[in-house]
Structure 1
Amino acid sequence: MSSLKLDGFRPFGLSWPLCLGFILIVFAGVVTGSLSTDLAGGFAFMLALGIVCNEIGERIPVWNSYIGGGLVLAFVVSAYLFTNKYIPAAYEDSVRMIMDKADFLSFFIVFLICGSVLGLEKKLLLRSFAGYLPAIFGGLIGASILGIAGGLLFGVSPKLVLLNYVLPIMGGGNGAGAVPLSQIYESVTGDKAANYYTFAIAVLTIANIFAILTAALLDQVGKRKPSWTGDGSSLIRAGIEMDAEKEDRIPSIKEMGGAFFLGVGLYAAGNLLGKALLPTVFGVEIHPFAWMIILVTILAMLGVVPQETKAAAKRLTSFMSSCLVLIIMVGVGADTDLNELANAITLSNVVMAFLIVVGAILGSAVVGQLVGFYPIDSAITASLCMANRGGSGDLAVLGASHRMGLIAYAQLSSRLGGGIVLILGSLLFGTFGK
């Protein structure tokens, strides 16, 4: 019986002897120092570690259903190994080169945005984005209400709950949220930015873990309540199919190349607008990814992208989200300091962060239901993708909930939603912070 099971066991699409053989070769290369530390060597190491964790995590009872399965295990194991310096320094630097200097995270997100938006039918696309802003505000309101309720339990005033907990957690991440919030705090209050940032990043780190775990739980709720969730690519309950999925023909290699260039071209256009031509609109900074989403949405609405290119973009997105996501999860884990997380864990911080995340979920789910969204998908994107550590947190949340097709909405939460929080932060610091 066991031999029959092994015969059908194909990790990462390979026969198990071939996959296991190359995993052992890669690990031997790390131990001996013979594995290169360039892009190819770094990918080999991150994939080998990710594949092992993914195969184990998908087979651990309870973990595979309620904690997030193999992707979350890859994140946790990587965080443990890198925090405790069990990875040789040369390969730690290799991973950081891929994630930081090469910015593989942005490269990954580019193609997920392009394929997920182009894969939506025009009417569905318009209705989705029109109702998304209310869903974001629903999450902010829900987070504030439960956050203030939690503050009453620990003797924390409502204004401190909003300033020190809700704002950094719902700010869309670290670089786009906690860092600029701390700068706004300093400019408005006169106190040092570091004093605010130290606490902000602590509660944000705790909330990020809760966001990933609750995303996995919501995925299980969706399996038990199918009417509450869609196909992982659409928010609207109307059931309109995606154009790209209607294309039965497998895209050619050239069409895949065209979709690739379309993705990086749109990213270049987003950077041109976000960094040179229109970095701010009415005083609000617009992130290049937000501009990219706007541009690809305009192309999709105008119908100027050929159907075969849409299908190729969708297929490219599927490859990135099903295969290369393991590289992302290992890289995100490598960037997570478990000691920093442990130092931030106090009863009040944990409970407050948890209540804010739950409040955000409920708020976005209720408003999402009212505007015609699937409540679970609305909660995952409009709330959990704000209550995490930005781009890397988005991918961890979507990976744990198996909804990579919703990356465009996740980025709207992190970028545009985060911008809304910065505006609210300016107002709240000016009112209560002095």
Structure 2
Amino acid sequence: MIINETMTVRDQRISKAILAIAAIIIFLATFAGKMPGGMIGALGIMVVVGTILNFVGDRTPIINQFFGGGAIVVIFGSAYLFHQGFFPAEASENVKTFMKSGGFLAFYVASLVTGSILGMDTQTLKKAALKYIPVILGSAFFACALTGVVGMLVSKDFYDSVMLIALPIMGGGMGAGAVPLVEIMSGKTGMNAETLMSQMVPALAIGNAIAIVMAGLLNKLGQIAPTLTGNGQLIRGQKAITEEEQQTGSLNVTILGVGALLAVSMFFVGTVLSSFISMHTYALMIISIALIKVSGIMPTALEQAAHSWYKFVVSNLTPALLVGIGVAYTDLNQILNALSPMYFLLVLITVLGAIIGAGFIGWLMGFYPIEAAITGGLCMANMGGTGDVAVLAASKRMELMPFAQISSRIGGAFMLILATLVVQAIA
């Protein structure tokens, strides 16, 4: 951190004043139409807006206690500010480009996945790997079953409730979920692609928003009932690893650079493998890193470097990324337009079903229910990689990113297989 306890009071005041001046300069340039293009312009405004909204959210009563605090304020606050024209249109477009074609999200996720897996205890990884798949399946089953039953109770068809609401929400986001679902269902269900997409997309958007809020509530539940949570540790009874145990070497610029290189390299590995194996890049990256970790071939110093880089990214870039999620992936108008009572109820039931299924099966598998519900439930019900970051930030459990990505990628792929089987069975 730039400002910390080791500084004198005078130095802290001077540092805050300089940072405030820097923020004012960035705002003035943005509103004057002088915002630089590319990464430097986008990241500048994202850091400033994210830091301010995160500060406000963490200090707003009720929101900071029950709804995820800064994370949820950054996402929805930035979505509102940019989409309602408070910022110039070119600033919004620059942020969207940086997030999507600029690859900022992929860079962030690669850093978190690589560092968190390599920084994980090997035995913990081995114990959790096979037991985690039933958690995903339990989450999907409860979500679909409850949504279908409630759909029938509110005079909606069981099949439509599951296929048009539950499956898209649990399917791993837009690109990896809703789009292939539409391709699977169109032509075989009597509905064209446009009709299907118009019914699925609002479910994804509302489900993602509910998942973020639920993440904050689950974090609060863990504070009220400590026996239900491992505070970021997935396996019950697993000894928490302290910072001293995780990092025995000194932290310097070289170590951070090595950690960044490892994260980027592992993303390259996933990208290359996806050319030969029909799986998502993130899923292949996770499997590759896990195999490297379990095999023990990676020197401890390099594992520590990757973990140090992960902590640096989480500490310094998370608010900026959440702004990008709000601007590039959160459409408030779409959410509001779909908020009919019945539609909202079915989406809410889907998310609650995912929480209940993942939490219950997770407990049976020896996991903490809250951590299982967050990763196996909410990270199945959100909008893929962006939703994973938002949910883990709201629940203050960023170290669970590997399991969140397993839910989004492998769990999402399972939902597509399920949809294919159902459509073929009724076609």
Superposed pair shares fold, TM > 0.5: yes
After TM superposition, list the pairs within 5 Å mapping 1:26-425 onto structure 2: 26-189=26-189, 191-232=191-232, 234-242=233-241, 246=245, 247-274=247-274, 276-278=275-277, 280=278, 286-335=279-328, 336-425=330-419
Is the 8 Å Cα contact of residues 121 and 241 (structure 1) preserved in structure 2?
no
Instruction: Report percent identity of matched pairs.
Output: 35
Measured in 1, the distance between the counterparts of 2:19 and 2:140 equals: 45
Q: Deviations over 1:312-349 (max 9, x none)?
A: 21111111112201111111111222111111111111
How far 1:255 moved relative to its partner? 2.8
How far 1:248 moved relative to its partner? 2.8
Q: Counterpart in 1 of 2:3? A: none
Query: Where do 5+ consecutive residues of structure 2 fail to align?
Result: 1-7
Q: Deviations over 1:206-242 (max 9, x none)?
A: 111110000000001111222211232x311131455
Query: Which deviates the most, 82-91 or 242-251?
Result: 242-251
- CA RMSD, Structure 1 to Structure 2 (Å): 2.0
How far 1:50 moved relative to its partner? 0.7
How far 1:87 moved relative to its partner? 1.6
How far 1:38 moved relative to its partner? 2.6
Q: What SS class does the counterpart of residue 351 from structure 2 fall into?
A: helix
Measured in 2, the distance between the counterparts of 1:54 and 1:413 equals: 27
Q: Deviations over 1:373-415 (max 9, x none)?
A: 1110000000101111111111111110011111111111110
Measured in 2, the distance between the counterparts of 1:302 and 1:43 equals: 37
After TM superposition, list the pairs within 5 Å mapping 1:4-23 onto structure 2: 15-23=15-23
Q: Deviations over 1:354-385 (max 9, x none)?
A: 11111110110010001011110000000101
Quickly say closer, same or farther: Cα 1:241–1:182, change in 2 above 3 A. Answer: same
Is the 8 Å Cα contact of residues 174 and 383 (structure 2) preserved in structure 1?
yes
Is the 8 Å Cα contact of residues 63 and 69 (structure 2) preserved in structure 1?
yes
Is the 8 Å Cα contact of residues 171 and 178 (structure 1) preserved in structure 2?
yes
Letter of the structure 2 residue corresponding to residue 268 of structure 1: F
Give the number of equivalent residue pairs. Answer: 418
How far 1:244 moved relative to its partner? 7.7
Residue 25 (1) aligns with residue 19 (2): no
Measured in 1, the distance between the counterparts of 2:422 and 2:95 equals: 39
Query: Which deviates the most, 395-404 or 29-38?
Result: 29-38
Quickly say closer, same or farther: Cα 1:291–1:14, change in 2 above 3 A. Answer: farther
Measured in 2, the distance between the counterparts of 1:358 and 1:162 equals: 14
Quickly say closer, same or farther: Cα 1:244–1:426, change in 2 above 3 A. Answer: farther
Query: Where do 5+ consecutive residues of structure 1 fail to align?
Result: 1-6, 281-285
Normalised by the length of structure 2, the TM-score is: 0.93
Normalised by the length of structure 1, the TM-score is: 0.92
Letter of the structure 2 residue corresponding to residue 202 of structure 1: P
How far 1:190 moved relative to its partner? 5.8
How far 1:178 moved relative to its partner? 0.5
Is the 8 Å Cα contact of residues 119 and 242 (structure 1) preserved in structure 2?
no
Measured in 2, the distance between the counterparts of 1:124 and 1:209 equals: 31
Letter of the structure 2 residue corresponding to residue 235 of structure 1: L
How far 1:252 moved relative to its partner? 3.7
Letter of the structure 2 residue corresponding to residue 43 of structure 1: L
Is the 8 Å Cα contact of residues 244 and 311 (structure 1) preserved in structure 2?
no
How far 1:22 moved relative to its partner? 1.6
Quickly say closer, same or farther: Cα 1:50–1:9, change in 2 above 3 A. Answer: farther
Measured in 2, the distance between the counterparts of 1:68 and 1:214 equals: 9
Is the 8 Å Cα contact of residues 235 and 374 (structure 1) preserved in structure 2?
yes
How far 1:245 moved relative to its partner? 5.2
How far 1:35 moved relative to its partner? 3.0
